Amino acid sequence: MSANVCGRHPRAIRTNIDSYRGMPRGWPYALLHLVREKRRSELRLGRNALMVDFQLTPRQLELRDTALKFAVEVMAPAAEKADRVPEPDKSFNWDVIRKASKLGLRTLTVPEKYGGEGADVLTCAIVGETLAYGDLGMAVAFDQTWKIMTSISTLTTDEQRERWIPRLMEDDECLLATGWTEPSAGSDNIWPNPEPGAGMQLFAEKKNGRWVLNGTKRYISNGGLAKIYQIAARTDSKGPLMSSLTMFLVPGDAKGFSVPEVWDKLGQRCVQNGTLQFDDVEVPDEDRIGGTGNALPALANLLIKHGSNIQAGATVLGVAQRAYDLSLQYAHSRVQGGGPLISHQLQQIRLARMAMKIEAARSYLWRTAWSTGLEEMDRKNAMLSKVFAAEASVEVCQQAMELWGAAAYMRKNPIEKLMRDALSFLHSDGTNDV
């Protein structure tokens, strides 16, 4: 999306506000309110960020088209089979990952210097939504890798990037994962409990120049699939969480590291969520990311500035878009009440409202994604746009269930899977309640 913007100098806006003083009550006061809101927006976004041209760049359009073709022709058929596999640790399709890697979709956010696309948050949101049109779980496997690579590229040293990024580029099966959630700490990682020692418990103790990790993470996306893990651990067992966490890069084949459980889930069955176990896992100090005790602010940047929340909202929106498209098609072919469903006003209104929610969520996500490139962004929109998109997607899928009637409830048809998948983002990437 191009960032063509236009704005007005605050002095000009100030003059407009002054011109309405002393005027009779009525519509000018409503206009005055709009002028004031415009001024507030200018202060938040910068004086040249009032109007944005939401036109995708040629490269964004090319990536979207590539992703759509791949989602429809490769991901959707593979997901239909994988979703039926009863064992959660046997459902993942590595062939999809390898094929996507050949198209450059796996390494989307790797800096161009290292042979990647160097994609920004908006581009990831566009491609992530499009891939999720084929399957949400598989799209999550890619999206996790994208946002963690963005974090690694931003937070690591040149020496660390030179050692770690080539591993990702050279291996078509190399996925990334990040470990924050624990049995005793989920939402507490986002709104940390200030009590000393509360929250996350996985502990890293420094011994002889190396860090020794002990503890457990759970529900980790790409758990058991990833070859590189970004792990947050306490380096102060008794301090408040805000100043006690440190991040490390841990290879998936590290001694003492294991994945004892892959969770059996309602939806997103085409990607693994695993329990990560650390038993005296040794990590050299050169694989520590940043200083000790500063990982929690890095999590905030991962969720907001690096696009985790935004891209999460975008992927689940791909589920809603597919539910809408299938429902529109079904409404033309299913005949009831003397004509196709689409001929009945009730179903026309239902479909219109579904489309409205999707478009509103997409606009919110894209605007917020674009704003991550500004020096200052309204950070709350990263979380709010994710919540809005997740709730809108669940509502759209529910409306699709009602339009399809009993057919939607049958596993032979695709709508029930979309409903199961959409529900996952009421909590994934941070529960909507926080």
Query: Residues 312-370: pLDDT tens digits?
Result: 999 999 999 999 999 999 999 999 999 999 999 999 999 999 999 999 999 999 999 99
Weakest-pLDDT range from 25-39, 253-267, 359-373: 25-39
| SS3 label, residue 402 | helix
pLDDT at residue 1, rounded to an integer? 59
Distance CA 427, CA 146 (A): 20
- How large is the C-alpha radius of gyration of the chain? 23
pLDDT tens digits, 275-318: 999 999 999 999 999 999 988 887 777 778 888 999 999 999 99
Q: What are the tens digits of pLDDT across the range 376-400? A: 888 899 999 999 999 999 999 999 9
Backbone angles phi, psi at 67, to 5 degrees: -65, -40
Contacts of 6-12 with CB under 8 Å at 24 or more apart are: 6/48, 6/50, 6/51, 7/42, 7/46, 7/47, 7/48, 7/49, 7/50, 7/51, 8/42, 8/47, 8/50, 9/47, 10/39, 10/42, 10/47
pLDDT tens, position by position, 398-419:
999 999 999 999 999 999 999 9
SS3 24: coil
Please name which of 382, 340, 342, 352 lies closest in space to residue 364, comparing C-alpha atoms: 382
Residue 178 in contact with residue 229, Cβ under 8 Å?
yes
Q: How far apart are the first and last CA of the chain?
A: 30
Q: Calculate the CA 267 to chain-centre distance.
A: 16
Q: For residues 267 and 91, give the distance between their C-alpha atoms in angstroms, rounded to a whole number.
A: 12
Per-residue pLDDT at 5: 38
Q: Is 216 helix (H, G, I), strand (E, B) or coil?
A: strand
Please report the DSSP string for 54-114 in residue order. ----HHHHHHHHHHHHHIIIIIHHHHHHHTT-SSGGG---HHHHHHHHHTT-TTTTS-GGG
The answer to whether the beta carbons of residues 131 and 314 sit under 8 Å apart is no
